[in-house]
Amino acid sequence: MSGLDGLNPSPGALVLGLVQARVPVITEPADLTSTAQRLATQLRKAKKAMPSLDLLVFPEYSLNGLDPGTWLDERLLCDLDGPEITLLAKACAEAGVWGCFSLMERNPGGAPWNSGIIVDAAGEIKLYYRKMHPWVPAEPWQPGDLGVPVCEGPAGSRLALIICHDGMLPEMAREAAYRGANVILRTAGYTYPLRHAWQITNQANAFHNLAYTASVCLAGPDADGIRSQGEAMVCDIDGTVLVQGDGLPDRIVTAEVVPSRADDARTGWGVENNIYQLGHRGYSAVPGGATDCPYTFMRDLTEGHYRLPWEDRVAHTDGTGAGWGPPPLSTTTPPAAPEVH
């Protein structure tokens, strides 16, 4: 790749650092503090060692850990304005670099959210997202309610963040692109059984949407010796893998992307400009292309009666199989999401 993965940035390049952070072990509130401090130190050292870095991306669960036994412990959850996030945002400002971080967010109205933020080089939160599609039945998180936001980033980038299982549903990356994202970040905690699916979905999400995808997992063993895969990867707008990591904990995989190339492809490509052609079918034969919605699943989902032909035979429809039990009936309305300016 040109620019030696960001060591010598090309004109218009966004230089990414994907941090294959080690799996933290969190058992006490003090562990959250020490982990946040470690991540902040990694960010500051990375920017010092490679001043061309524009954005450092940390994986899902890199702050709160992967132990399901701690996930619903109220003492071990975070708040958007809490000390851990404040510490990480301050590190971005001190180092003069953007950062993307994960937090398991306290929800007074129900189950916690699995959330992510993008912080700019002045320490301000520019994007705030709650995971739309928790990895059920294994994860007990409240499904996200903020949609798929997009923010302006460095070097002409328009950034979106999707989290782990979100990326297995093509509609998520499509929504990010439809809202203007030309660089789609994906953070995860996947272990090795998901390695192949991880790779092909990152590539497909890029190609389907003429977007760069930049994705990173936790790496190394948890307290029980189960290893997360690391496997940071950056894909070009045609799905080609530009850079790929390994399973080494705390390795920072760097890459450059040029967001304007995605913008140019979206306006200049003819064949395979699929995100345009989805809403303009057959424009060589029909002026402007057909603009109807021929997809039954889209119409049914919008109208509130999405139902699979095999719906009655689906075995897992709540968290019981993963030890969470059926969800309680909600008796309170979750609080409104904090505003991010």
Residues taking part in catalysis: 60, 131, 164
Separation between Cα atoms, residue 71 and residue 27, nearest integer Å:
10
In sequence order, the 6+-apart residues with CB closer than 8 A to the CB of 123 are 89, 90, 92, 93
Residue 104 CB burial class (10 angstroms; 0-12, 13-18, ≥19): buried
- Give Cα 327 to chain centroid, integer Å: 25
Residue type, 163: I
Are β-strands 219-221 and 212-217 bridged in parallel, bridged antiparallel, or unpaired? unpaired
Cβ–Cβ under 8 Å, residues 13 and 246: no
